[in-house]
Chain A
Amino acid sequence: MKLLTKTTVYFLLIMLPIFAGGAFYLFGKFSKEIKHETDEELVNDKLQWLRYLDTAGINSPIFTLSTLEFNLTPTDLPVQSRHKLSGVTLYQETEDSESPFRQLSQVISIHGKNYQMVLRKSMIEKDDLIKNVIQVMLFAFSGLLFFVLLSNWFISKKIWKPFYSSLDKIQRLQLNKLEAVTFEHTDTHEFNQLNAALNNMTNRVHTDYTNMKELTEDAAHEMQTPLAIAQSKLELLLQDDTLSEEQLKAILLSYDELQRLSRLNHNLLLLAKIENQQYPVTEQPDLHTMVEKYLLLFEELIREKQLTIQKEMVDTAPWPLHPALTDIMVSNLLGNAIKYNYLHGTINIRLTTNSFSISNTSQIHEIPADMLFQRFKKQSNGYTNSNGLGLAIIKKIADSYQLTLTYGYENGWHTFTMNTGL
């Protein structure tokens, strides 16, 4: 739930009982007022009647008047000096229902005779009053609701703007572009605190990241020299005729492992360099030529496995990629297609001006998506001389140079496709 929706809901939940209470209070207040007014009118009427009856009633010694509003009946009760006010409910013929009335009753004496006088006034307005009060309250409530929504919309547009802009920045944050991110000063204290904290955090993360990266690169570079020394010493040692076969084998093994280490080192450096965009797109090498070059280079490997190569290629396909990376892309993809193929297998190569795909048959099952481009995730144990970085490098190339790399598996065919964004 959005913060604003939440505050709105809470606000309305709080306002609802307040409004209901207000409605009750208003109703009580109004009805009391009306009762008071009605009673005053009744007393007023009584005085009028008394004045009239004093003068008009001489010729008719005994009379009885009975209407809903005015009732005058002879009685034996003693004269009351004070009137009595009360509320009654009476049946009304016209509306066929019970209606509330205020009534004033008093025993009075007219020309020596006692009469019970009852004056009544309808309180029918009370129903309307409730209706009116509820109406007013509803109107006020919906007006308030509308106002709250409107002001929230306005607040979110205006006051929360810096917050949302910071949020947007955090969402688009990339580790290698941290130095470009700053959270600006706003005119809200809390947001300033937040942005200051975020600035602090990104700076720290950026410094850590840069240090880490530099350390990796420096370490990789520094490692090359000792590797070169060790490798050269072993190569010289291999020349020694006096060594036994066992000793030579041990030396060769160390020698080969040293090379694996240096290749690993080389590839890790390469990954870092691609990520740092150290291979600018300055020319557009022809992918067709590149593919043919590697087909020739891998000729024996293809012949050894007796692979069938099916090609569907446009004559020229200039790709916006650094030649060194184009080399790596083609050699890695083609190399994998050969390496993980089986005897008498097939490789399909399709090349258009904006798409390059290599499919190959293989005994390896479909590669799970989460493993596919992971570093050091080797797909199969049966294949040595793999450092598990080949696909990670291609993926890194794709990510860093706006290319898309997709993988598909169908009926024993593995397909890798590179697309330019065009």
Chain B
Amino acid sequence: MKVLIIEDEPALRASIQQYLEHQGYICELAADFKQAMDKVNEFEYDCIVADIGLPLGSGLDVVKELKLLESKAGIIIISAKDSLEDKLSGLELGADDYLTKPFHLSELTARINAILRRKNFDGNTTIIFFEITVKPASKTVLVHDKSITLTGKEYQLLLYFIANQHRVVTKSALAGHLWGDAYDQAGSYDFIYTHIKNLRKKMLEAGGEDYIKTVYGTGYRFG
């Protein structure tokens, strides 16, 4: 999977690159509008992560260019501006998702994962992680070919874990993923533990391995 990261902040660009490459993506980088346009016109990408505020131009114009080229790439806009207009115009121009800075790298990865799943196979794909098979189209999960019943949030957690396999994901990242902006209201992250516990239990009961590891109280690691 090839991802183009368009971001003018070198440090952030490097972080995204490092995280995504670890998850098995091939990353290319663009530091400004011109570089971005050159790359977009020259190469094909599966997914493009684009900042809006760029030197020499706007990330939104890159999105326009991609649509002109009838690119099949999934597009995620990342912006420091948490402005509704930017979000709406970005999505209207054909971006698939919008993330406001600062974001969790694990969240970005999960979103890229979801977009690629939808784009490349029109959702008719199966995600296989050892004995676990997930069919996003029907939202079913099989362990050793046996179907297990998960709640909505347990299902979301599982997909998040698979997208960020082998990485430590923090409780706050999980909470943000499950509850969105409303996770401010949660009061504590304790309830995530309940979901994890139930998810783990259901998979163990179906004869699966215990992939969810608690990491020193900082978060969880899958696989």
List chain A positions with a Cβ less than 8 A from chain B. Answer: 221-222, 224-225, 227-233, 235-236, 238-239, 245, 248-249, 251-252, 255-256, 258-259, 262-263, 266, 269, 278-279, 294, 297-298, 300-301, 304, 324, 327-328, 331-332, 334-336, 338-339, 383-387, 390
What would be 9 A-B contacts, judged by CB atoms less than 8 Å apart?
A224-B81, A229-B11, A232-B12, A235-B19, A239-B167, A255-B170, A300-B194, A304-B191, A331-B182
Q: In angstroms, how far is the closest chain B Cβ from the Cβ of A3?
A: 50
Among B1-30, those with CB < 8 Å from A are: 9, 11-12, 15-16, 18-19, 22
Q: Decide if A332 touches B185 in the complex (CB within 8 Å).
A: yes
Q: Decide if B187 touches A338 in the complex (CB within 8 Å).
A: yes
0/1 per residue, B144-159, Cβ < 8 Å to A?
A: 0000000001000000
Chain B interface size range: 35 or more
Residue of A nearest to B168 (CB): A238
Specify which chain B residues have a CB less than 8 angstroms from the CB of A224 in the assembled complex: 80-82, 100-102
Contact residue among B80, B170, B185, B187 (Cβ-Cβ distance under 8 Å from A228)? B80
Q: Decide if B101 touches A235 in the complex (CB within 8 Å).
A: no
Closest 4 CB pairs of A and B: A335-B185, A232-B15, A228-B102, A228-B101
Q: Does B71 contact A (CB under 8 A)?
A: no
Q: Does B105 contact A (CB under 8 A)?
A: yes
Q: Does B127 contact A (CB under 8 A)?
A: no
Whole-angstrom distance between the alpha carbons of A306 and B107 in the complex?
Answer: 31
Q: In angstroms, how far is the closest chain B Cβ from the Cβ of A244?
A: 9
Q: Which of A233, A279, A327, A338 has the most CB of B within 10 A?
A: A233
Q: Does B184 contact A (CB under 8 A)?
A: yes
Whole-angstrom distance between the alpha carbons of A36 and B172 in the complex?
Answer: 113
Specify which chain A residues have a CB less than 8 angstroms from the CB of B190 in the assembled complex: 304
List chain B positions with a Cβ less than 8 A from chain A. Answer: 9, 11-12, 15-16, 18-19, 22, 80-82, 84, 100-106, 153, 167-168, 170, 172-173, 179-182, 184-188, 190-191, 194-195, 215-219
Specify which chain A residues have a CB less than 8 angstroms from the CB of B218 in the assembled complex: 238, 248-249, 251-252
Q: Decide if B102 touches A233 in the complex (CB within 8 Å).
A: no
Whole-angstrom distance between the alpha carbons of A273 and B82 in the complex?
Answer: 10
Q: Decide if A301 touches B187 in the complex (CB within 8 Å).
A: yes
Whole-angstrom distance between the alpha carbons of A232 and B78 in the complex?
Answer: 13
Known: A221-B81, A383-B187. A236 touches B194 (CB 8 A): no
Specify which chain A residues have a CB less than 8 angstroms from the CB of B179 in the assembled complex: 297
Whole-angstrom distance between the alpha carbons of A236 and B164 in the complex?
Answer: 12
Whole-angstrom distance between the alpha carbons of A278 and B87 in the complex?
Answer: 14
Residue of A nearest to B221 (CB): A239
Q: Decide if B184 touches A263 in the complex (CB within 8 Å).
A: yes
Q: In angstroms, how far is the closest chain B Cβ from the Cβ of A84?
A: 112
Q: Decide if A227 touches B167 in the complex (CB within 8 Å).
A: no
Specify which chain A residues have a CB less than 8 angstroms from the CB of B168 in the assembled complex: 238-239
Known: A327-B181, A331-B182. A304 touches B105 (CB 8 A): no
Known: A248-B215, A331-B181. A259 touches B191 (CB 8 A): no
